[in-house]
Amino acid sequence: MIRHLKTARTLAERADDDAKVRVAVEGILADISARGDAAVRDLSVKFDRYDPKAFRLSEQDIEAAMAAVSKRDLDDIRFAQTQVRNFAQHQRAALQDIEVETLPGVILGHKNIPVQSVGCYVPGGKYPMVASAHMSVVTAKVAGVKRIIASAPPQQSANGPAPHPAIVAAMHMGGADEIYCLGGIQAVGAMALGTETIAPVDMLVGPGNAFVAEAKRQLFGRVGIDLFAGPTETMVIADETVDAELCATDLLGQAEHGVNSPCVMITNSERLARATLDEIERLLKILPTGEAAGKSWADYGEMIVCDTYEEMLEQANFIASEHVQVMTKRDDWFLEHMHSYGALFLGPRTNVSFGDKVIGTNHTLPTKKAGRYTGGLWVGKFIKTHTYQRVLTDEASAMIGEYCSRLCMLEGFVGHAEQANIRVRRYGGRNVAYGVAAE
């Protein structure tokens, strides 16, 4: 039996918010498409109060930003990027070109070719997402992308809006070829559509707020994207092998992302569930980001109590959360049987924050149940797998041609059939016409 000790807002209540965002984004993208740089500058002034001489950072701008970051912070960025790069290199090595002879004289193969240009968006509004630069720029670099541009909004300070030094440092150290101080819809719109001063890219990647996510959705098709992303989601699957403080901390640690971040706990212990509810209320009173986390928990938090591990698994796969932290005596069983999620965090010694910032796996992950059909950002997202074929012998061309001719005629494609017939006549010495081999 499944019991909900706490429920979240309904999908219908959330849909109205999505509709308003969609309309706003449509108008802004149309403006960027029509007016280019002028629209981008107007939007930057409107949303970020930022009106620089140029949005692209010069070498001197980058050097100044690097100088403003402490040695400890630079070392930490370097450590995190080393972990991301190392794992991405192992992933890239697993992607092999192949060439096989499937029939005598028939060669088929595929080649893994990097996307040629990528735009990486790094959020920097409420929280400067330094780690997002590692996840997108470093991973694209390992994939072999030739042109990587990166953009983040300015930080607001007492001296006015300016590039965030640590984000700029992370972009530069990660290998970005062009760095822009530009935020929101205007950033992803300019990178995808192109302007007088920004050449368009082939693909957009990186997280962002609801407006950035909607812009990527609307731009998909004109450019590729990593995935359709929504607000951060977290799930804790726990039994009595862990305590309420650990569960509550891990839920609220992700709820602080914003006021609409779903956070769900699934357990087979009602005692742990109720203790965690109490612990959440205690932590919200002392957590500096408790206002945002509390709003998320109030509107999007869920506490689900199940009788069995099988029920816990069923609920977890149905919800398909972005982050799933498993802290049970059956962690390996969940690893084996979970099929719909963004990333798994197994055991109490790891947590979502490790994955978000430093451990080496990518933190750009599917949300809104997209884990049912896609994984997160990884080096393979920047790779296109292209097939090719080669027929080496006359005999093979004629043999394949006869099958092809008949199958084309079965579908009524006479021109297709004649492409096959001409090969049969030339290489097989057979007189064929419109898919019928002469006896």
Beta strand segments in 312-373, E: 323-327, 343-346
- Residue 340: both structure tokens together: 């719909």
3-state helix, strand, coil in the chain (%, to 5): 50, 20, 30
Task: Return all residues near 13 (Cβ < 8 A) that are at least 6 apart.
Answer: none
Cβ atoms of 376 and 227 closer than 8 Å: yes
| Residue tagged active-site, from 323, 386, 395, 418 | 323
What does DSSP say about strands 117-121 and 147-152: parallel, antiparallel, or unpaired? parallel
* Owner of token pair 């970020």: 48
Cβ atoms of 187 and 121 closer than 8 Å: yes
Known active-site residue 164: no
The CA radius of gyration of the chain, in Å to the nearest whole number, is 26
Known active-site residue 323: yes
Nearest to 312 by CA among 265, 350, 276: 265
Distance CA 367, CA 374 (A): 10
Distance CA 277, CA 271 (A): 10
| Residue tagged active-site, from 172, 322, 363, 402 | 322
Distance CA 312, CA 175 (A): 42
φ, ψ dihedrals at 164, nearest 5°: -80, 115
What does DSSP say about strands 147-152 and 178-181: parallel, antiparallel, or unpaired? parallel
Nearest to 32 by CA among 168, 188, 154, 169: 188
- Active site positions, annotated: 322-323
